Amino acid sequence: MGELQGMVYGSVKTGSPTAETSHALSVRAMVWWRDAIVERTASLSMGGEPYNILVVSHGGFISTLVKSLVRSGKVTADRVKILQNLPNMSVSIIEWDGATWRLVKYGDISHLATGPLDHSADEMWI
């Protein structure tokens, strides 16, 4: 994030020349998806117990990745609403059936007893 690292979202009034552009982030996310997920899952045998792959990242990256995958047609999202912003601590799930990647859950916070978090640890001031 360059100069913006550690700053609270919305507190910056102008862009930073060191910040990654939306297009660059989308390209980086799609390359990561191809290299880390698609190429690796292609070598797994289908059948038997399903494989689970846990990806933990910043909501901005996951949101950009999912929107890019859906827009490109690489992932289908038949019954899933694509949110503008992901809530903190949310869960998104993409399933592979051997032929199609399908978004089955996006930005789900049902596991949080208190509802969505209104801030994250890096936004708190001590």
- Domain of residue 73 covers 2-123
User: What is residue 100's predicted lDDT score, i.e. its pLDDT?
Assistant: 92
CA gap 115, 126 in Å, rounded: 24
Task: Name the domain count of the chain.
Answer: 1
pLDDT tens-digit series, residues 3-45: 666 666 566 656 667 778 889 999 999 999 999 999 988 888 8
pLDDT, position 15: 63
Q: So what's the pLDDT on residue 45?
A: 81
